[in-house]
Amino acid sequence: MPVAPTVCYKTKPYKIWEDEKTFRLAINFKQELGRTDCNLKPHEHSYYNSDLFAGMLKRAAREAQQGRSWQYLDSLPDCITVDTSRFLAVVRIQLPASFIR
């Protein structure tokens, strides 16, 4: 059974103030992704040990992020989850199943 391809990393959420009393939490997406950010193993992707893998991973994550470099936590796409229970938030981006080759 193939594993669902997921990108996982930590980042610090920050506040964007709308007025004097209300704010919304937002996160910045990681710009440079590598093999350590992905849960795949070398035998699960044919390009894993290639120099092309980082670019493929970055492109798939950018498509899931809808081309954005940051996002409000209350308006994330369905494929992105953020766990804010600790100081650093854990961002998980579910890549499409077609990413596994």
Domain count, the chain: 1
* One-letter amino acid for residue 17 of the chain: W
pLDDT given at position 1: 47
Q: How far apart are CA 81 and CA 89, in angstroms?
A: 10
Position 1 in a domain: no
Position 64 in a domain: yes
Strand partners, 75: none
Position 86 in a domain: yes
Position 59 in a domain: yes
Which residues have a Cβ under 8 Å from the Cβ of 23 and sit 6 or more positions away?
Answer: 15, 16, 17
pLDDT given at position 2: 58
Per-residue confidence band for 40, with pLDDT thresholds at 50, 70 and 90: confident
Position 57 in a domain: yes
Position 22 in a domain: yes
What is the mean pLDDT of the segment spanning 3-25? 92
Tokens of 67: 């081309």
pLDDT given at position 13: 95
Position 21 in a domain: yes
Per-residue confidence band for 28, with pLDDT thresholds at 50, 70 and 90: very high
Which residues have a Cβ under 8 Å from the Cβ of 9 and sit 6 or more positions away?
Answer: 30, 33, 37, 90, 91
What is the mean pLDDT of the segment spanning 58-69? 93
Task: Look up the domain containing 65 and give its range.
Answer: 6-99
What's the distance, Cα to Cα, between the start and end of the chain in Å?
A: 13
pTM confidence score = 0.86
